[in-house]
Amino acid sequence: MKKIKKENKAISKTIIAVIIVVIIVIAIGGIYGYLVLRNHPTTTTYSSSFTSSSLTTTTSGISNLNTSNPQVLMSLVGLSSPPSTPVTITVWDSYSVSENQAFNQTLAQFEQEFPWIHVQVTYGVGVGTSQFETAAKAGQAPIVYRDTSDAGGALFAAGLVLNLSQYLPPSIASLYLPTAIKDWTLNGSLYGLPDNINYIVMFYNKHFVPYPPNTTDQLVQIAEYVNKTYHVWGIAYGAGDEYGYRFAAWFAGFGGHIFSTSSDKIIPALNSTAMINALNFWYNLTYNLKINYLAPSTGPSGAEGELFIANQTAIIFDGPWDLNAYLQALGPNLGAAPLPVISQTGLRASPFIGSTGFLISSPQASGATPLQIKAALIFVLYFTSYQADLRLWEVAHDIPANIQAYNEALTQLREDILQPAYLNQIMEGILEQAQYGQQFPNIPQMAYYWNSFHQYASEFFANKINASQAAQGMEQAFIQALIQNGLLSTFLPLPLLLPLQYLLIALFMLTFLIPLELSKNIRKWCIRVE
Partner 1 sequence: MAIRRYKILKILRLLFSYIILIIMSFFAIFPLYYVFMTSFSNAPNLISLSISDLIPKHIYFTAYKYLISTNLYGGSFPLWVRNSLILASSTAIISVLLALITGYALSRLDIPAKKTLATFIYIVTFFPYTATAVPLYLLFAKFHLLNYIGLILAYTPGTSIFAAFIAKLSIDAIPSSYEEIAMIDGLSRFGAFLRIVMRLALPVVALTAILGFTGAYLDFALAYSFLLPNVKEWTATIGLYYMAGLLNPASAPQYNIFAAGAVLMGIPLMALFIVSQRMMTKAYSNLAGVKQ
Partner 2 sequence: MNKQKLYSFFYIIPIVSITLFLFIFPLVYSLYISFTNLSELHFIHYNYVGLVNYIIIFKYGYFLELLKNTLIWTVGSLVTMMSLGFGLALLLNQSDLKGKSVFYAILILPWAFPGFISLLIWQGLWVDPYGMMNRLILPTLHLPKVNSLTSTTDAWIELIVTNDWLSFPYFMTVFYSALQSIPKELYDIADLDGAGILTKFVKITLPSLKRTIAFVFITSFVFTWNNFYPIYILTGGGPGISTETFIVYAYQEAFSYSNFALGAAWSMISTIFVIVLAIIVIKYTHILDSFT
Longest dimension (CA), the chain: 99
Residues that bind partner 2 (rule: CB under 8 A) add up to a total of: 69
Query: Are the CB atoms for 430 and 336 separated by under 8 Å?
Result: yes
Give the number of residues written for the chain: 530
Shortest distance (Å) from residue 97 CB to partner 2: 20
Shortest distance (Å) from residue 133 CB to partner 2: 6
With vertex at residue 147, the alpha carbon angle to CA 142 and CA 151, rounded to the nearest 5 degrees, is 110
Shortest distance (Å) from residue 94 CB to partner 1: 6
C-beta of 147 vs 241, nearer to partner 2: 241
Of 175-183, 216-224, 297-305, 498-506, the segment contacting partner 1 by CB under 8 A is: 297-305
Q: Does 44 bind partner 2 (CB under 8 A)?
A: yes
Sign of CA dihedral 341, 345, 346, 350: negative
Q: Does 309 bind partner 1 (CB under 8 A)?
A: yes
Q: Does 518 bind partner 2 (CB under 8 A)?
A: no
Of 62-70, 128-136, 418-426, 454-462, the segment contacting partner 1 by CB under 8 A is: 128-136
C-beta of 267 vs 307, nearer to partner 2: 307
Which of 20, 24, 25, 527 lies at the binding interface for partner 2 (CB under 8 A)? 25
Task: Please choose which of partner 2, partner 1, none residue 96 contacts, taking the beta carbon within 5 to 8 angstroms, the exact cut-off set by kind.
Answer: partner 1
Nearest-angstrom CA–CA distance, 121 and 142? 9
Nearest-angstrom CA–CA distance, 421 and 419? 5
Query: Are the CB atoms for 400 and 394 separated by under 8 Å?
Result: no
C-beta of 120 vs 364, nearer to partner 1: 120
Residues between 414 and 473 with contacts to partner 2, criterion CB under 8 A: 444, 447-448, 450-451, 454-456, 458-459, 461-464
Buried b (16+ CB within 10 A) or exposed e, 421-460: ebbbbbbbbbbebbebbbbbbbbbbbbbbbebbbebbbbb
Residues that bind partner 1 (rule: CB under 8 A) add up to a total of: 47
Number of helices followed by number of strands (H, E) in the chain: 20, 16
Task: Please choose which of partner 2, partner 1, none residue 463 contacts, taking the beta carbon within 5 to 8 angstroms, the exact cut-off set by kind.
Answer: partner 2
Task: Please choose which of partner 1, partner 2, none residue 73 contacts, taking the beta carbon within 5 to 8 angstroms, the exact cut-off set by kind.
Answer: none
CA dist 392 to 67, 95, 132, 353, Å? Answer: 16, 10, 24, 18
Query: Are the CB atoms for 478 and 273 separated by under 8 Å?
Result: no
Nearest-angstrom CA–CA distance, 282 and 461? 9
Q: Does 90 bind partner 1 (CB under 8 A)?
A: yes
Shortest distance (Å) from residue 176 CB to partner 2: 26
Query: Are the CB atoms for 181 and 442 separated by under 8 Å?
Result: no
C-beta of 119 vs 474, nearer to partner 1: 119
Residue 337 host element (H or E): strand 334-337
Shortest distance (Å) from residue 3 CB to partner 1: 13
Q: Does 364 bind partner 1 (CB under 8 A)?
A: no
Task: Please choose which of partner 1, partner 2, none residue 461 contacts, taking the beta carbon within 5 to 8 angstroms, the exact cut-off set by kind.
Answer: partner 2
Q: Does 484 bind partner 2 (CB under 8 A)?
A: yes
Nearest-angstrom CA–CA distance, 300 and 498? 56
Shortest distance (Å) from residue 187 CB to partner 1: 27
Sign of CA dihedral 386, 187, 358, 129: negative
Beta bridge partners of 120: 90
Please choose, from the candidates 423, 429, 425, 210, the residue with its C-alpha nearest in 3D space to the C-alpha of residue 327: 423
C-beta of 151 vs 403, nearer to partner 1: 151
CA atoms within 13 A on the CB side of 301: 0
Q: Does 30 bind partner 2 (CB under 8 A)?
A: yes
Which of 30, 74, 76, 94 lies at the binding interface for partner 1 (CB under 8 A)? 94
Please choose, from the candidates 369, 377, 370, the residue with its C-alpha nearest in 3D space to the C-alpha of residue 192: 377
Of 31-39, 79-87, 181-189, 249-257, the segment contacting partner 2 by CB under 8 A is: 31-39
Preceding amide of 420 cis, omega within 30: yes
Nearest-angstrom CA–CA distance, 415 and 171? 31
Class of residue 203 by CB neighbours under 10 A (exposed 0-12, middle 13-18, buried 19+): buried
- 352-360 and 193-198 beta bridge pairing: antiparallel
Residue 379 three-state SS: helix
Q: Which amino acid is at 310?
A: A
Task: Please choose which of partner 1, partner 2, none residue 458 contacts, taking the beta carbon within 5 to 8 angstroms, the exact cut-off set by kind.
Answer: partner 2
Residues 6+ apart with CB under 8 A from 306: 300, 312
Pattern 187-206, partner 1, x by CB under 8 A: -----------x--------
Of 6-14, 65-73, 106-114, 198-206, the segment contacting partner 2 by CB under 8 A is: 6-14
Residues between 112 and 141 with contacts to partner 2, criterion CB under 8 A: 129-130, 133, 136-137
Residues binding partner 1 (CB under 8 A): 9-11, 13-14, 17-18, 90, 94-99, 120-128, 131, 134-135, 137-140, 198, 299-301, 303, 305-307, 309-310, 312, 321-322, 324-325, 329, 356
Residues binding partner 2 (CB under 8 A): 7-8, 10-11, 15, 25, 29-30, 32-33, 36-37, 40, 43-44, 46, 129-130, 133, 136-137, 154-155, 157-160, 238, 240-241, 294-297, 303, 307, 364, 444, 447-448, 450-451, 454-456, 458-459, 461-464, 480-481, 483-487, 494-497, 502, 505, 509, 512-513, 516, 520
